[in-house]
C-alpha cells in the first residue's frame, strides 16, 4: 500500500473559487431539446449541479426549418426562389432551455441548405458544413435570427447569452474550407450580429486542441473584428492523434455481421474503445494545454466549450469512476486558468452517428438515456457542494492529490482523488495532518468509487440487459446512489491526523463541521 502525507494549515491563505465547470454543458443537436425527457434531464443538472448554460450543434440546421424554399418541399421546379425565414422551432428549443433554468450558449451552425454553397454534410442529421453561397444573403439571415431572439426574449436577456461562430472549423468533417475562409465567415457573421445589437457577446474560433488561437486573434485585430471571448476544445486523447482513422474504418468494414444484433453499441464499442488510447503521460495534459491556450489568449475570457475524457461516442470509460476522477482533477487543476468550461455532454440523449439506446452505451453524458446518474454526475455534485474559498495547495500530478476548501462557518472540505489512466489495483493510504484546526464536532464522508455512485457495475452484474424494466431501473438508481457516512469527533482526535483509504480513480470528500 502506497502512503501519502498531506499537511494543511487551516489558518492558511485561501483564494476565491470560480466554478467554471458550472458555466456550461454540452448536448446533442438542437432538435433534441424538443423532447420531454431531454428537458427533464437538463433541469436536473441545473437544479442539482448548478449548470448555467447548454451548448449544442445545429440550431440553424435543416431539421430546424429555419430557412426554406418552395423547391425544398415540393417535387416541382419553381421559378420562385424566395427564401422563407422561420424561427418557430428555434423559439420552442430556447423556450424549453429557459424553462429548465438554463440559458443557451449559441453555436451558430450549420449552414441551411437554401444558403449553402455545397452539399457536404456531417452526421446522420446532415449538418451542412459548407460556406454560404452568397455572403450578403447569409448576413441578412443572421440579422433576422438576432432580431427574432431579441423580440422574443428581450435585449436584457439575450445580452447574457454567448454567440460562438461554428464548430471545429479546423477539422475537414466540420468545415469545408481553410482557416482563412473561417476567419472571413466569422468576421461577416459577427458584424451582422453586432449590426443588430452591439452588446451581443461573440467569439470563436471553437477549434480543437487550442489550435489557431493566435492567428484568429491577429486576424481580428488587423481587420477590426469584434471578439468578446475565445473558445477551443480539448480531449486528453488529442495528444495521441485520436480519431476515426483509416485503421479503425478498416476494422469497422470487417466487423462480423453475425454478432450481437440487439445493440449497435456492442458492435462498435470494441472498435472505438481502444484501451491503449490512455497512458500515464496524459495525466495533467488538459491543464498543460489550457495554460498554453491562456498564454495565447491573454486577458480575454477563455472558454473550453467542449471537453471530456474521450472524444469517442461509445467509449466505455465514460460510464466509469475513471471518468469521474478525471473530471475532478481537470476542473480543479484548471481553476484560475479557464473562465468557463462545457463538459461534453450532460446526457446520453444524443445522436450523431446513431442514437444508442443501451442502458449504458459509453455515451458522453453525465446521465444515461434513462436518466441514471453516472459517476461523473456524482463527482460533479460533490464539486457543486464546495464552498467558495480554496486553500492554496500545489498540483502534484501524483497518484493521490488533495484539494481543500473552507466554508464561511469554518467548515473544512477535504477532497481526495486518485486519478489514474492506467489503474493497477493499487491501494493508497492518505494521511492528513491539520495545523491550527478549529474545534470540529462532526464529520461526514462521501465516495465515488467501485461501490458508490457506480451504476454501470450493477448493470454489468445483471448481465448487461439491452433494456431495463421500470422496476429494474428504479432498483438500479436506488442501489447506485453514494452512501454518506457521518459521526461526531472526539476532542483531540484530530491531533493524530486523519487517515483515509482509497484506490485508483476513487474520489473521496470529507467534511468537518464545527
User: Across the beta sheet with 498-503, what order do the strands follow?
Assistant: 2-9, 427-435, 498-503
Q: Looking at residue 449, what is its pLDDT?
A: 96
CA distances from 488 to 368, 435, 483, 492 (A): 37, 20, 17, 12
Span 290-316, average pLDDT: 95
**CATH code assigned to 18-384:** 3.20.20.80
Nearest to 479 by CA among 461, 500, 502: 461
pLDDT of residue 246 exceeding 80, the answer is: no
Average pLDDT over residues 350-375: 93
Which of the residues are catalytic?
A: 168, 306
> Confidence class of residue 496 from pLDDT cuts 50, 70 and 90?
confident
Tell me what percent of the residues of the chain surpass a pLDDT of 70.
91
pLDDT greater than 70 at residue 15 = yes
Instruction: Count Cα atoms within 13 angstroms, Cβ side, for 93.
Output: 27
Query: What are residue 197's DSSP bridge partners?
Result: none
On the question of pLDDT at 443 being above 60, the answer is: yes
Residue 238 phi, psi (nearest 5): -55, -30
Fill in the DSSP letter of residue 308.
-
Predicted confidence at residue 61, as pLDDT, reads: 96
User: Burial, 369: exposed, middle or buried (Cβ in 10 Å; 0-12, 13-18, 19+)?
Assistant: buried
Q: What's the confidence (pLDDT) of residue 79?
A: 64
12 or 276, higher pLDDT? 12
How many of the other CB atoms lie within 10 Å of CB of 1? 7
Residue of 5, 115, 9, 139 whose CA lies nearest to 62: 115
pLDDT of residue 245 exceeding 80: no
CA dist 117 and 99 (Å) reads 36
DSSP states of 376-389: HHHHHHHHHT--SE
Q: What are the residue ranges spanned by the domains of the chain?
A: 2-12+389-513, 18-384
Written as one string, the DSSP assignment of 146-214 is HHHHHHHH-HHHHTTSEEEE-S-TTSTTT-SS-HHHHHHHHHHHHHHHHHH-TT-EEEEEEEETTTTHH
Q: Could you report how far apart the first and last alpha carbons of the chain are, in Å?
A: 32
The residue that leads in pLDDT, 142 or 358, is 142
How many CA within 13 A on the CB side of residue 58?
26
pLDDT in the model for residue 494: 79
**For residues 425-446, average pLDDT:** 92
Residue 154's pLDDT is 98
pLDDT of residue 267: 67
pLDDT for 275: 46
Q: How confident is the model over 398-422, as pLDDT tens digits?
A: 999 999 999 999 999 999 999 999 8
111: part of which helix (H) or strand (E)? none
pLDDT at 72 over 50: yes
pLDDT of residue 497: 87
- Of the candidates 170, 167, 231, 233, the one whose C-alpha atom is nearest the C-alpha of residue 201 is 231
What are 93-108's pLDDT values in tens digits?
A: 999 999 999 999 999 9
- Residue the block writes with cell 468509487: 449
Q: How far, CA to CA in Å, does 192 sit from each of 155, 189, 199, 217, 365?
A: 16, 5, 12, 19, 34
What would the CATH number be for the domain defined by 2-12+389-513? 2.60.40.1500
Residue carrying C-alpha cell 474520489: 507
Q: What is the pLDDT of residues 189-205, one digit of tens each?
A: 999 999 999 999 999 99
Give the DSSP H/E element, type plus range, for residue 461: helix 455-461
Average pLDDT over residues 147-156: 98
What is the average pLDDT score of the chain? 92
Q: Contact, 225 vs 184, CB < 8 A?
A: no
Non-local (6+) Cβ contacts of 435 within 8 A are 7, 8, 9, 10, 11
> What's the pLDDT score for residue 296?
97
pLDDT of residue 447: 97
Amino acid at each position: 500500500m502506497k502512503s501519502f502525507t498531506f499537511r494543511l494549515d487551516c489558518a492558511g491563505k485561501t483564494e476565491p473559487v470560480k466554478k467554471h465547470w458550472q458555466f456550461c454543458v454540452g448536448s446533442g443537436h438542437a432538435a433534441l431539446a424538443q423532447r420531454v425527457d431531454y428537458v427533464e434531464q437538463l433541469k436536473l443538472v441545473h437544479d442539482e449541479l448548478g449548470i448555467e448554460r447548454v451548448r449544442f450543434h445545429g440550431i440553424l440546421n435543416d431539421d430546424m426549418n429555419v430557412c426554406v424554399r418552395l423547391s425544398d418541399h415540393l417535387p416541382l421546379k419553381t421559378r420562385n426562389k424566395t427564401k422563407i425565414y422561420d424561427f418557430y422551432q428555434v423559439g420552442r428549443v430556447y423556450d424549453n432551455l429557459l424553462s429548465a433554468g438554463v440559458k443557451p450558449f449559441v453555436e451558430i451552425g450549420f449552414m441551411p441548405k437554401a444558403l449553402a454553397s455545397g452539399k457536404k454534410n456531417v452526421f446522420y442529421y446532415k449538418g451542412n458544413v459548407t460556406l454560404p453561397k452568397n455572403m450578403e444573403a447569409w448576413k441578412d439571415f443572421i440579422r433576422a435570427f438576432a432580431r427574432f431572439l431579441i423580440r422574443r426574449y428581450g435585449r436584457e436577456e439575450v445580452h447574457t447569452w454567448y454567440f460562438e461562430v461554428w464548430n471545429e472549423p479546423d477539422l475537414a468533417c466540420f468545415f469545408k474550407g481553410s482557416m482563412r475562409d473561417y476567419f472571413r465567415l466569422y468576421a461577416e457573421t459577427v458584424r451582422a450580429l453586432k449590426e443588430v445589437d452591439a452588446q451581443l457577446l461573440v467569439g470563436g474560433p471553437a477549434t480543437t486542441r487550442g489550435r489557431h488561437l493566435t492567428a484568429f486573434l491577429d486576424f481580428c485585430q488587423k481587420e477590426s473584428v469584434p471578439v468578446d471571448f475565445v473558445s477551443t476544445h480539448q480531449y486528453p486523447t488529442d495528444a495521441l492523434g485520436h480519431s476515426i482513422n483509416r485503421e479503425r474504418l478498416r476494422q469497422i468494414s470487417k466487423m462480423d455481421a453475425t454478432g450481437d444484433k440487439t445493440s449497435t453499441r456492442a458492435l462498435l464499442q470494441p472498435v472505438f474503445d481502444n484501451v491503449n488510447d490512455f497512458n500515464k503521460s496524459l495525466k495533467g495534459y488538459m491543464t498543460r494545454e489550457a495554460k498554453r491556450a491562456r498564454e495565447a489568449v491573454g486577458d480575454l475570457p477563455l472558454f473550453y466549450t467542449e471537453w471530456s475524457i474521450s472524444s469517442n461516442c461509445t467509449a466505455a470509460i465514460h460510464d466509469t469512476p475513471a471518468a469521474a476522477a478525471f473530471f475532478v482533477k481537470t476542473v480543479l487543476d484548471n481553476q484560475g486558468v479557464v473562465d468557463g468550461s462545457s463538459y461534453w455532454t450532460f446526457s446520453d440523449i444524443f445522436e450523431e452517428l446513431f442514437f444508442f439506446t443501451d442502458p449504458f452505451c459509453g455515451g458522453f453524458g453525465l446521465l444515461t438515456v434513462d436518466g441514471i446518474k453516472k459517476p461523473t454526475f456524482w463527482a460533479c455534485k460533490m464539486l457543486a457542494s464546495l464552498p467558495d474559498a480554496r486553500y492554496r495547495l500545489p498540483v502534484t500530478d501524483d497518484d493521490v492529490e488533495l484539494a481543500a476548501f473552507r466554508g464561511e462557518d469554518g467548515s473544512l472540505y477535504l477532497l481526495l482523488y486518485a486519478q489514474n489512466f492506467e489503474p493497477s489495483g493499487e491501494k493508497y493510504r492518505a494521511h492528513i495532518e491539520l495545523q491550527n484546526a478549529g474545534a470540529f464536532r462532526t464529520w461526514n464522508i462521501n465516495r465515488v468509487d467501485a461501490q458508490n455512485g457506480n451504476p454501470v457495475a450493477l448493470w454489468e452484474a445483471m448481465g448487461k440487459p439491452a433494456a431495463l424494466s421500470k422496476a429494474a431501473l428504479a432498483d438500479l438508481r436506488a442501489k447506485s446512489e453514494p452512501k454518506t457516512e457521518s459521526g461526531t469527533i472526539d476532542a483531540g482526535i484530530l491531533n493524530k491526523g486523519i487517515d483515509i483509504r482509497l484506490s485508483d480513480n476513487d474520489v473521496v470528500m470529507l467534511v468537518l463541521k464545527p
